[in-house]
Structure formats: C-alpha cells, structure tokens
Amino acid sequence: MSVLVCLDPGHGGSDYGSVGFFLTEKDVCLDLAFRIGRKLQNYEGISVTMTRSIDMDTTAEERSGWANQQKADLFLSIHTNASSDSTASGFASYVSVCAGSKARRIQCWLHNQIVCFLRKYGVCDLGKKNDTESFTGHLKELRLVEMPAITLASLYITHTKENHLLSDSEFLDRYADCIAEGVAKIFQCQLKSTV
C-alpha cells in the first residue's frame, strides 16, 4: 500500500498565527510538521509532502490546491490554540462540517491516540469538533481538499505550561512520534526494517 500524507504547517510569512510569550504559531507548526514528516518516513509505504517547508505566505486555496494536485490520501493541518484567557488549555481536532465518514473515522482514531499521549502531560481533551466550532467559524482548507482532512489544534500557546511544552524539543519529538504512529496505524503501515 502506498500512502501520501500532506502536512500543512499553519500560517507562515507575514501571518504569525497566535503568539504566546516568545513563541509564534507559524514557527511551532513548521517545526512540528518537519518532525512528523521525518517520523512518517520510518514507515513502509508512507511518503510525505508539505504545503510549505519555509517561512512563507500561502493562502488556504494554495495549500489545498497543492494537496489536491499531489493527490494526497490525508491532509493533516497543524495548528496551536490560543486564548486571551491565560488559563485556557487543552487539545482539539477538527474536520469540516461537510466531512464524510472516512474523515470522521480517521479523526476519531487519531484524536484518541493523541489524547492518550497528552494525558500524561496533564493536557485535557477539548473534543472532536467540526470546523464550524472553530474560532473563525470554519477552516477553509478543510473544505477545499478532495481527501480526508483533519486539523490538529495542538495545545495553547498562550498557556504557560503548554507553551513550555511547545518549546521543548524532547516533547515535540515524542508528540511527532505519537502522531506518526497514529497515521501509520490508520493506514496499516509497518515500521521499516532497521536491518
């Protein structure tokens, strides 16, 4: 089986996304996407493409257009959460309100895998959501792609403890491992032999 995963690091260029303390969402998302990409390439049959690999401006149309052009099997958009309430914390995942059953099954499996991992760090589960429940009212790129698409809203960049986790290289590596393992299980891909 051959699987192409399109990783979409949120924001970029003049769009910083959310800012928390000394971190910007665009940088965290790109770093995490690279880590996930490297981990995914350890599995048989999985290849990776990214909507951006540098700090650049891209529109939702360009991101989704790239994924559609590449005929990806899964679109995974990486974001962080933010709030003016510094006590707000947790993890959520999103699919388009128009998403089909396949996207929702993938969301359910991956969300549960991530929540199980994050629980060890005291991060609460904010639930599996539709894009209409997002801060902006909808996540355009989820609606424009032609394959199952999920947004991972990874921790609150504005929460002291979660901001610290998002700046911790060891945590990000483990988190990337968790996401890659979840994707590999969904598509029944085995780790490559190290021999």
So what's the pLDDT on residue 195?
52
| Each residue's pLDDT tens digit, 67-80 | 999 999 999 999 99
Count of domains in the chain? 1
In a domain? residue 191: no
**Residue 194, in any domain of the structure:** no
Each residue of 27-44: pLDDT tens digit?
A: 999 999 999 999 999 999
Across residues 108-118, what is the average pLDDT? 97
Assess if residue 193 is contained within a domain.
no
Identify the domain containing residue 105 by its residue range: 3-186
Mean per-residue pLDDT, 82-91: 95
Question: What's residue 146's pLDDT?
Answer: 96
Identify whether 121 is part of a domain. Answer: yes
Classify burial at 19, counting beta carbons within 10 Å of its beta carbon; exposed 0-12, middle 13-18, buried 19 or more.
middle
Q: 8: domain CATH number?
A: 3.40.630.40
Give me the pLDDT at residue 144, please.
Answer: 93
| Segments in 71-138 forming alpha helices (H) | 101-119
Looking at per-residue pLDDT, the higher value among 150 and 138 belongs to: 150
Q: How far apart are CA 10 and CA 15, in angstroms?
A: 9
Q: Are 25 and 157 in contact (CB under 8 A)?
A: yes
The reported pLDDT for the residue numbered 116 is 97
Is the pTM higher than 0.75? yes
